[in-house]
Amino acid sequence: MNRNKSGPASVSEIEEYFNEDYFYFGDRVNRPEISDKQTETIWRLLSLKQDSSVLELGCGYGRITNRLAEKGAEVTGLDISPSLLKKAEADATQRGVKVEYVLGDMRSLPWQDRFDAAFLWYTTFGYFDDADNERVLREAASSLRKGGRLLIDHANRFAFLRHKSPIYVVQRNDDLRIDIMSNDVLSDRRNIERIIVRDGCVRRTHLSFRQYGFSEFVRMLRSVGFGTVEAFGPEGEDFTSDSSQLVVVAYK
Protein backbone atom coordinates (compact mmCIF):
# COMPACT_ATOMS: atom_id res chain seq x y z
CA MET A 1 0.00 0.00 0.00
CA ASN A 2 1.21 3.50 -0.82
CA ARG A 3 0.66 5.29 2.47
CA ASN A 4 1.41 8.69 0.95
CA LYS A 5 -1.84 8.41 -1.00
CA SER A 6 -3.81 8.33 2.27
CA GLY A 7 -2.26 11.41 3.84
CA PRO A 8 -3.52 14.99 3.93
CA ALA A 9 -3.90 16.70 0.55
CA SER A 10 -1.18 19.18 -0.37
CA VAL A 11 -1.95 22.61 -1.82
CA SER A 12 -0.55 21.49 -5.19
CA GLU A 13 -2.82 18.41 -5.19
CA ILE A 14 -5.85 20.56 -4.43
CA GLU A 15 -4.97 23.02 -7.21
CA GLU A 16 -4.42 20.19 -9.70
CA TYR A 17 -7.70 18.51 -8.76
CA PHE A 18 -9.89 21.64 -8.98
CA ASN A 19 -8.96 22.66 -12.49
CA GLU A 20 -10.49 23.25 -15.91
CA ASP A 21 -11.50 19.57 -16.11
CA TYR A 22 -13.41 19.90 -12.84
CA PHE A 23 -15.39 22.78 -14.32
CA TYR A 24 -15.90 21.01 -17.66
CA PHE A 25 -17.77 18.11 -16.05
CA GLY A 26 -19.42 20.26 -13.37
CA ASP A 27 -22.91 20.55 -14.86
CA ARG A 28 -22.99 16.80 -15.55
CA VAL A 29 -22.39 16.11 -11.85
CA ASN A 30 -24.49 18.96 -10.41
CA ARG A 31 -27.18 19.86 -12.91
CA PRO A 32 -28.60 23.41 -12.65
CA GLU A 33 -31.78 22.21 -10.96
CA ILE A 34 -29.71 20.41 -8.32
CA SER A 35 -27.68 23.56 -7.66
CA ASP A 36 -30.91 25.55 -7.38
CA LYS A 37 -32.25 23.09 -4.81
CA GLN A 38 -29.02 23.07 -2.81
CA THR A 39 -29.03 26.88 -2.75
CA GLU A 40 -32.53 26.86 -1.25
CA THR A 41 -31.38 24.39 1.42
CA ILE A 42 -28.40 26.56 2.37
CA TRP A 43 -30.57 29.68 2.46
CA ARG A 44 -33.03 28.01 4.80
CA LEU A 45 -30.56 26.30 7.15
CA LEU A 46 -28.47 29.45 7.55
CA SER A 47 -31.61 31.59 8.09
CA LEU A 48 -30.47 34.01 5.39
CA LYS A 49 -32.32 37.18 4.46
CA GLN A 50 -32.01 39.94 1.93
CA ASP A 51 -28.63 41.66 2.43
CA SER A 52 -27.25 38.93 4.73
CA SER A 53 -23.47 38.87 4.44
CA VAL A 54 -22.30 35.38 3.53
CA LEU A 55 -18.89 33.77 2.99
CA GLU A 56 -18.39 30.58 0.99
CA LEU A 57 -15.09 28.83 1.63
CA GLY A 58 -13.98 26.73 -1.33
CA CYS A 59 -16.49 28.41 -3.65
CA GLY A 60 -15.10 26.84 -6.84
CA TYR A 61 -16.72 28.19 -10.00
CA GLY A 62 -19.50 29.93 -8.07
CA ARG A 63 -22.42 27.61 -8.75
CA ILE A 64 -23.84 28.22 -5.25
CA THR A 65 -22.28 31.61 -4.52
CA ASN A 66 -23.81 33.33 -7.52
CA ARG A 67 -27.22 31.80 -6.88
CA LEU A 68 -27.20 33.17 -3.32
CA ALA A 69 -26.34 36.58 -4.75
CA GLU A 70 -29.34 36.31 -7.08
CA LYS A 71 -31.51 35.78 -4.00
CA GLY A 72 -30.25 39.04 -2.51
CA ALA A 73 -27.41 38.02 -0.19
CA GLU A 74 -24.14 39.96 -0.08
CA VAL A 75 -21.76 37.15 -0.94
CA THR A 76 -18.00 36.67 -0.78
CA GLY A 77 -16.38 33.57 -2.24
CA LEU A 78 -12.87 32.32 -1.45
CA ASP A 79 -11.01 29.64 -3.36
CA ILE A 80 -7.44 28.49 -3.99
CA SER A 81 -7.96 27.92 -7.74
CA PRO A 82 -7.41 30.98 -9.99
CA SER A 83 -8.98 29.24 -12.98
CA LEU A 84 -12.20 28.36 -11.13
CA LEU A 85 -12.47 31.87 -9.69
CA LYS A 86 -12.31 33.28 -13.22
CA LYS A 87 -15.21 30.99 -14.16
CA ALA A 88 -17.12 32.19 -11.09
CA GLU A 89 -16.56 35.85 -11.98
CA ALA A 90 -17.66 35.26 -15.58
CA ASP A 91 -20.84 33.52 -14.39
CA ALA A 92 -21.57 36.37 -11.94
CA THR A 93 -21.25 38.86 -14.78
CA GLN A 94 -23.55 36.80 -16.96
CA ARG A 95 -26.15 36.61 -14.17
CA GLY A 96 -25.82 40.32 -13.45
CA VAL A 97 -24.88 39.90 -9.80
CA LYS A 98 -22.08 41.40 -7.73
CA VAL A 99 -19.93 38.95 -5.77
CA GLU A 100 -16.55 39.53 -4.13
CA TYR A 101 -14.23 36.73 -5.19
CA VAL A 102 -10.95 36.28 -3.31
CA LEU A 103 -8.00 34.03 -4.13
CA GLY A 104 -6.80 32.50 -0.87
CA ASP A 105 -6.33 29.62 1.54
CA MET A 106 -9.19 28.80 3.93
CA ARG A 107 -6.64 28.19 6.69
CA SER A 108 -5.79 31.91 6.77
CA LEU A 109 -8.67 34.34 6.28
CA PRO A 110 -8.35 38.14 6.10
CA TRP A 111 -11.67 38.93 7.87
CA GLN A 112 -12.69 39.49 11.48
CA ASP A 113 -16.30 39.67 12.73
CA ARG A 114 -17.56 40.49 9.24
CA PHE A 115 -20.11 37.89 8.11
CA ASP A 116 -23.56 36.81 9.27
CA ALA A 117 -22.96 33.32 7.93
CA ALA A 118 -20.32 31.14 6.30
CA PHE A 119 -20.42 27.72 4.70
CA LEU A 120 -18.35 24.93 3.17
CA TRP A 121 -20.41 22.98 0.65
CA TYR A 122 -19.95 19.77 -1.32
CA THR A 123 -17.39 18.11 0.96
CA THR A 124 -15.03 21.06 0.96
CA PHE A 125 -13.91 20.40 4.54
CA GLY A 126 -11.29 17.86 5.60
CA TYR A 127 -8.50 18.12 3.00
CA PHE A 128 -5.75 18.78 5.55
CA ASP A 129 -4.47 17.07 8.69
CA ASP A 130 -6.53 17.38 11.88
CA ALA A 131 -4.67 20.44 13.15
CA ASP A 132 -5.16 22.38 9.90
CA ASN A 133 -8.76 21.25 9.53
CA GLU A 134 -9.47 22.68 12.97
CA ARG A 135 -7.60 25.80 11.93
CA VAL A 136 -10.12 26.21 9.08
CA LEU A 137 -12.94 26.14 11.64
CA ARG A 138 -11.14 28.62 13.87
CA GLU A 139 -10.63 31.01 10.95
CA ALA A 140 -14.27 30.65 9.94
CA ALA A 141 -15.38 31.42 13.50
CA SER A 142 -13.21 34.54 13.58
CA SER A 143 -14.74 35.78 10.35
CA LEU A 144 -18.27 35.59 11.79
CA ARG A 145 -20.05 38.20 13.85
CA LYS A 146 -21.55 37.32 17.23
CA GLY A 147 -24.58 35.16 16.51
CA GLY A 148 -23.17 34.06 13.15
CA ARG A 149 -23.81 30.63 11.68
CA LEU A 150 -21.45 28.16 10.03
CA LEU A 151 -22.71 25.36 7.78
CA ILE A 152 -20.56 22.39 6.74
CA ASP A 153 -21.71 19.85 4.15
CA HIS A 154 -19.72 16.66 4.68
CA ALA A 155 -19.86 13.13 3.32
CA ASN A 156 -21.55 10.65 5.67
CA ARG A 157 -18.88 8.03 6.23
CA PHE A 158 -21.44 5.40 7.21
CA ALA A 159 -23.18 5.71 3.85
CA PHE A 160 -19.84 5.73 2.01
CA LEU A 161 -18.85 2.41 3.52
CA ARG A 162 -22.03 0.83 2.15
CA HIS A 163 -21.41 1.89 -1.44
CA LYS A 164 -21.13 -1.24 -3.57
CA SER A 165 -19.22 0.35 -6.44
CA PRO A 166 -16.02 2.29 -5.74
CA ILE A 167 -15.95 3.59 -9.32
CA TYR A 168 -18.01 6.53 -10.62
CA VAL A 169 -18.07 7.53 -14.28
CA VAL A 170 -19.26 10.86 -15.69
CA GLN A 171 -19.54 11.40 -19.44
CA ARG A 172 -19.78 14.60 -21.46
CA ASN A 173 -19.88 14.08 -25.20
CA ASP A 174 -16.99 11.68 -25.90
CA ASP A 175 -15.07 12.68 -22.77
CA LEU A 176 -14.97 10.75 -19.50
CA ARG A 177 -14.28 11.44 -15.85
CA ILE A 178 -13.57 8.29 -13.86
CA ASP A 179 -13.35 8.45 -10.06
CA ILE A 180 -11.91 5.47 -8.19
CA MET A 181 -12.82 5.69 -4.50
CA SER A 182 -11.20 3.99 -1.53
CA ASN A 183 -11.40 4.30 2.25
CA ASP A 184 -8.40 4.16 4.56
CA VAL A 185 -9.90 2.81 7.76
CA LEU A 186 -6.73 3.52 9.76
CA SER A 187 -6.64 7.24 8.99
CA ASP A 188 -10.40 7.78 8.41
CA ARG A 189 -9.64 9.31 5.03
CA ARG A 190 -11.46 8.98 1.73
CA ASN A 191 -9.17 8.81 -1.31
CA ILE A 192 -10.21 9.76 -4.83
CA GLU A 193 -8.12 8.80 -7.84
CA ARG A 194 -9.49 10.78 -10.80
CA ILE A 195 -8.81 9.86 -14.41
CA ILE A 196 -9.79 12.36 -17.10
CA VAL A 197 -10.09 11.19 -20.70
CA ARG A 198 -10.66 14.34 -22.73
CA ASP A 199 -9.77 15.45 -26.25
CA GLY A 200 -7.64 12.34 -26.75
CA CYS A 201 -5.54 12.99 -23.64
CA VAL A 202 -5.47 11.19 -20.29
CA ARG A 203 -4.82 13.09 -17.07
CA ARG A 204 -4.74 11.84 -13.46
CA THR A 205 -5.28 13.72 -10.22
CA HIS A 206 -5.65 12.65 -6.59
CA LEU A 207 -7.50 14.05 -3.60
CA SER A 208 -7.90 12.86 -0.02
CA PHE A 209 -10.16 14.17 2.72
CA ARG A 210 -10.68 13.28 6.37
CA GLN A 211 -14.06 11.77 7.20
CA TYR A 212 -15.46 13.19 10.45
CA GLY A 213 -18.47 12.06 12.43
CA PHE A 214 -20.93 14.41 14.10
CA SER A 215 -19.46 14.02 17.61
CA GLU A 216 -16.05 15.03 16.22
CA PHE A 217 -17.58 18.13 14.64
CA VAL A 218 -19.22 19.06 17.93
CA ARG A 219 -15.90 18.79 19.77
CA MET A 220 -13.98 20.81 17.17
CA LEU A 221 -16.60 23.51 16.71
CA ARG A 222 -17.09 24.09 20.43
CA SER A 223 -13.33 24.29 20.92
CA VAL A 224 -13.12 27.22 18.47
CA GLY A 225 -15.99 29.23 19.95
CA PHE A 226 -19.28 27.87 18.67
CA GLY A 227 -22.13 26.99 21.01
CA THR A 228 -25.07 25.01 19.66
CA VAL A 229 -24.25 22.48 16.93
CA GLU A 230 -26.98 20.73 14.92
CA ALA A 231 -27.02 17.86 12.39
CA PHE A 232 -29.18 17.54 9.27
CA GLY A 233 -29.46 15.41 6.17
CA PRO A 234 -28.64 16.83 2.71
CA GLU A 235 -31.96 18.66 2.31
CA GLY A 236 -32.33 19.79 5.90
CA GLU A 237 -34.18 16.70 7.11
CA ASP A 238 -33.19 14.67 10.17
CA PHE A 239 -29.74 13.10 9.84
CA THR A 240 -29.56 9.30 9.94
CA SER A 241 -26.92 6.68 9.15
CA ASP A 242 -28.55 6.32 5.72
CA SER A 243 -28.20 10.02 4.83
CA SER A 244 -25.86 10.60 1.90
CA GLN A 245 -24.49 13.74 3.54
CA LEU A 246 -24.02 15.13 7.04
CA VAL A 247 -24.89 18.82 7.14
CA VAL A 248 -23.66 20.52 10.31
CA VAL A 249 -24.89 23.96 11.41
CA ALA A 250 -23.06 25.70 14.27
CA TYR A 251 -23.97 28.95 16.03
CA LYS A 252 -21.40 31.41 17.38
Is 200 in the same domain as 220?
A: no
- Let me know: does 175 contact 202? Beta carbons within 8 Å: no
Q: pTM value?
A: 0.95
Is 118 in the same domain as 99?
A: yes
Mean pLDDT by 10-residue block, N- to C-terminus, for the chain (252 residues)?
A: 65 94 96 98 98 98 98 98 97 98 98 98 97 98 98 92 82 97 92 96 97 97 98 98 96 98
Is 108 in the same domain as 64?
A: yes
Which pLDDT score, from 0 to 100, does residue 164 have?
62
Is 84 in the same domain as 200?
A: no
Is 34 in the same domain as 90?
A: yes
Q: State how far the Cα of 47 lies from the Cα of 3, in Å rounded to an integer.
A: 42
Q: DSSP class of residue 199?
A: T
Which pLDDT score, from 0 to 100, does residue 185 have?
87
Is 104 in the same domain as 223?
A: yes
Q: Domains in the chain: how many in total?
A: 2
Residues for the chain: how many in total? 252
Is 126 in the same domain as 168?
A: no
Read off the pLDDT of residues 55-111 as tens digits, 9 standing for 90 and up: 999 999 999 999 999 999 999 999 999 999 999 999 999 999 999 999 999 999 999
Which pLDDT score, from 0 to 100, does residue 3 have?
39
Domain range for 140:
3-156+211-251
Is 86 in the same domain as 194?
A: no
**Rounded alpha-carbon distances, angstroms, from residue 88 to 12, 63, 214:** 21, 7, 31
Which pLDDT score, from 0 to 100, does residue 2 have?
39
Longest dimension (CA), the chain: 52
- Let me know: does 243 contact 213? Beta carbons within 8 Å: no
Is 197 in the same domain as 115?
A: no
